[in-house]
Structure 1
Amino acid sequence: MADVVVVIGAGGIGLAIAKRQGFGKTVLLADFNETVLEAAAQSMKDASYTVETQIVDVASRDSVRALADKAASLGPVMQVVNTAGLSPNMAPPQKVLEVDLYGSAVVFEEFERVIAAGGAGLIISSMAGHMMRQLPEDQEHALAFAPADELLDLPFLKDVPNSLVGYMVAKRANHLRVQAAAMTWGAKGARVNSISPGIIVTPLAQHELNSEIGDGYRAMIAASPSKRMAPPEEIAVAAAYLLGTDAGFVTGSDLLIDGGVIAAMRAGKLPVPA
């Protein structure tokens, strides 16, 4: 049986990673949106990839467990990539936390059951996780180690004022949970890391640029050293490294790929979100 690559989220970044990682493997592509999923899968099948699909809702443990079980039935699960997420302009705070915080934690827990020795996991987080100040130690510990099913009941998450703060907290939690998961995945001979992209040329980014927060995006691009957005393929290059054997000593880490936006914030060229 061929090795299995699981990619959750069939949008721009997910599809770019699936195409880069999927040669000679069985790709299990999953998404909440059936139309997006089928279009992405067809584009891969047209290019002679071996692709299986499944609808998934990362905010549902049963749905994620079913996806993990299907992956295991296809062959050795060697790579798991979670690109699913909601931006702050797409949903209210609680829904952002359900998908970006709880959903990512559930993916870590369920795929830990089926990841093969020598395998690797990767979550696509966001530079937003680097924007906020460090949380109190007890809160960071809870975000890292609380069982996924207890995360949304943490007292300090009950008063998240808006979706942007919820998004930043969720993305910070992604980094923390990668560190925690590195220990449990490591016990199975597997690694797990995250990538924190900046503004990537995807339909989601275009949606943001055309929204009321578009001026803020353009300001970040202008202030950054690179002064541009990046195509999804640039993220796929980094993902290939972190998922591959060349990164065998890299686990529990986050790779910030933002064109220097966070550097510009640290240099005082951009305001730091409150």
Structure 2
Amino acid sequence: MAAYQNGLLIIGAGGMGLAIARRLGAGQRVIIADYSEAVLNSAANTLRNDGHEIETQTVDVSDYESVEKLAKFASGKSRLQTVVNTAGISPAMGTARQVYEVDLLGTANVIDAFLEVMPSGSSLTSIASIAGHMMQKAISPELEKHLATCPREQLLTHEAIDLEGSTAMAYGIAKWGNVVRVQAAVRKGQEHGVRLNTVSPGVIKTAMVRKELESAAGDQIRHMIKESPVSRAGCSDDIAALVAFLSSPEASFIDGADFVIDGGFSAASRFRE
């Protein structure tokens, strides 16, 4: 296989990452990365059984050196045309500190490391959440600017970021931080010819959401599904279809955008009496 075949890197090998790899992987050198070797091996075996040639790497997105190592590995294996960062944990999966480290700092680490190695014409898509949009009004302009622009080493030092606080609050702040961090990075992306966008899913029935359904937030999530104009939860393939478009030449004029994909829940809630 040619050393500089077009490459696809998926960070986060859970259900969403697996669906995106399956949707985009044909004809590309596919690399998947995850913190969990078990999740990584399961996803790799599934994709290999579908006929894809897969390489795997473990990564801790909260550790810049680990992300930088992944960036060097992936860019050395291919012309890294598409990077999709799905890595994240939900409020039920860890502490507030862990949510901030993985979901917020992790995204900043990926942006900083991969803009240094991705070629002109490539695409970097980060998965955020409508939880960020729901939290936006509670985020001050000063905190928002910090989330968007401060050096990654200082990202978790703001007084409004309580590393010992509410995991739900941490998740919402982190996910809005993903959106504005990507928006603030488009000028640097311009220097390298890389487009950056975010996708903000609503309730997508991945293993992560199934875990949330068993938590204290379960009733709220069921309410969101019930109140959505598209009266179902989403599936990973819904997200994969949007990411495929954003990663394609047809989306070459789309940069620094955030796409809410939530079955209409946010729109229907905005003007509810």
**Equivalent of 1:254 in 254, 258, 270:** 258
8 Å CA contact 1:78, 1:115 repeated in 2: yes
Match of 1:35 in 2: 38
**Equivalent of 2:155 in 144, 151, 174:** 151
Structure 2 CA distance, aligned partners of 1:58 and 1:265?
33
Q: How does the TM-score come out when normalised to structure 2?
A: 0.95
Secondary structure, counterpart of 1:155 in structure 2: coil
Structure 2 CA distance, aligned partners of 1:191 and 1:160?
35
8 Å CA contact 2:96, 2:163 repeated in 1: no
**Equivalent of 1:230 in 223, 227, 234:** 234
Match of 1:272 in 2: none
Q: Deviations over 1:190-247 (max 9, x none)?
A: 1000000011121111111122221111111111111210110011000001111111
| Matched AA of 1:195 | V
Structure 1 CA distance, aligned partners of 2:45 and 2:153?
35
Structure 1 CA distance, aligned partners of 2:140 and 2:234?
33
Structure 2 CA distance, aligned partners of 1:168 and 1:157?
11
Q: Is there any run of 5+ residues in structure 1 with no aligned partner, and where?
A: 270-274
8 Å CA contact 1:145, 1:180 repeated in 2: yes
Structure 1 CA distance, aligned partners of 2:138 and 2:8?
34
Percent same amino acid at aligned positions? 40
8 Å CA contact 1:116, 1:188 repeated in 2: yes
Q: Kindly indicate whether residue 59 of structure 2 is the aligned counterpart of residue 63 of structure 1.
A: no
Secondary structure, counterpart of 2:21 in structure 1: helix
Task: Go from structure 1 to structure 2 and tell me whether the alpha carbon gap of 1:109 and 1:265 turns closer, same or farther (over 3 Å shift).
Answer: same
**Equivalent of 1:189 in 179, 190, 193:** 193
Question: What is the deviation of 1:166?
Answer: 0.7
Q: How does the TM-score come out when normalised to structure 1?
A: 0.95
**Equivalent of 1:142 in 146, 152, 155:** 146
Q: Is there any run of 5+ residues in structure 2 with no aligned partner, and where?
A: none
Q: Deviations over 1:130-154 (max 9, x none)?
A: 1021622222111111111110112
Structure 2 CA distance, aligned partners of 1:177 and 1:162?
22
Match of 1:178 in 2: 182
Task: Go from structure 1 to structure 2 and tell me whether the alpha carbon gap of 1:215 and 1:66 turns closer, same or farther (over 3 Å shift).
Answer: same
Question: What is the deviation of 1:265?
Answer: 2.9
Q: Kindly indicate whether residue 271 of structure 2 is the aligned counterpart of residue 263 of structure 1.
A: no
Match of 2:245 in 1: 241
Match of 1:7 in 2: 10
